[in-house]
Amino acid sequence: MKVIDSHTEGEPTRLIIEGGPDLGSGPLSERLQRMMRDHDHVRTFAVNEPRGYDALVGALLCEPFDTSCAAGVIFFNNGGYLGMCGHGTIGTAVTLAHMGRIGPGTHRFETPVGVVSVELIDRNEVLIENLASYRTQKDVTVDVPGLGPVTGDVAYGGNWFFLVQQSPFPLEMGHINALTQAAQAVSDALAAHGITGTNGEPVDHIEFFGPPASPEGHSRNYVLCSGGAYDRSPCGTGTSAKLACLAADGKLPPGQDWVQESIIGSRFIARYRMEQDQVIPSIRGRAYVVGEATLLRDPRDPFADGLR
Ligand code: PYC
Confidence of residue 308 (pLDDT cuts 50, 70, 90): confident
- The CATH class that applies to domain 2-131+289-294 reads alpha beta
How far, in Å, CA of 82 to CA of 74, rounded? 8
Nearest CA to ligand 1 atom 5: 85
Separation CA 202–CA 160 (nearest Å): 7
What pLDDT score was predicted for residue 85?
A: 98
Residue 276 contacts by C-beta under 8 Å, 6 or more apart in sequence?
Answer: none
Cβ of 130 less than 6 Å from ligand 1 = no
* 221 has a pLDDT exceeding 90: yes
Task: State mean pLDDT over 286-291.
Answer: 98
Q: What amino acid is encoded at 62 in this protein? A: C
pLDDT at residue 232, rounded to an integer = 98
* Res 160: pLDDT: 98
| pLDDT tens-digit series, residues 139-180 | 999 999 999 999 999 999 999 999 999 999 999 999 999 999
Cβ of 207 closer than 6 Å to ligand 1, yes or no, is no
Ligand 1 atom closest to 88 (CA):
1
Q: Is the CB of 11 under 6 A from ligand 1?
A: yes
Q: Are 228 and 79 in contact (CB under 8 A)?
A: yes
CB 209 within 8 A of CB 167: yes
Does residue 43 contact residue 58 with C-beta atoms inside 8 Å?
Answer: yes
pLDDT digits 0-9 by tens, 63-95: 999 999 999 999 999 999 999 999 999 999 999
How would you class 35 by CB atoms within 10 Å of its CB: exposed for 0-12, middle for 13-18, buried for 19 or more?
A: buried
225 within ligand 1 shell (Cβ under 6 A): yes
In angstroms, rounded to a whole number, what is the distance separating the alpha carbons of residues 262 and 210?
A: 10
Active site amino acids: 85, 235
Instruction: Give the N- to C-terminal CA distance of the chain in Å, as an integer.
Output: 19
Name the residue of 8, 9, 225 to mutate for ligand 1: max ligand atoms within 8 A of Cβ: 225
- As a whole number of angstroms, the distance between CA 29 and CA 74 comes to 9
Mean pLDDT of 248-265: 98
Is residue 86 within 6 Å of ligand 1 at its C-beta? Answer: yes
- Specify the pLDDT at position 186: 98
Domain with CATH 3.10.310.10 in the chain: 2-131+289-294, 134-282
Compute the mean pLDDT over every residue in the chain, rounded to the nearest whole number.
Answer: 97
- The CATH classification number of 134-282 equals 3.10.310.10
| CB 46, CB 16: distance < 8 Å | yes
pLDDT digit string, tens, across residues 240-252: 999 999 999 999 9
**Best CA proximity match to 222, nearest among 280, 272, 174:** 174
pTM: 0.97
Judge whether residue 274 has pLDDT over 90.
Answer: yes
Q: Work out the average pLDDT over 25-32.
A: 96
How much is the average pLDDT of 244-273?
98
Name beta bridge partners: 230. Answer: 224
pLDDT at 218: 98
The percentage of residues in the chain with a pLDDT greater than 90, rounded to a whole number, is 99
Query: Given ligand 1 and candidates 6, 7, 11, 76, which is best to mutate, with the most ligand atoms within 8 Å of its CB?
Result: 11
Atom 8, ligand 1: residue with shortest CA distance = 235
What is the percentage of the chain residues whose pLDDT exceeds 70? 100
Question: Whose CA is closest to 241, among 212, 249, 12?
Answer: 249
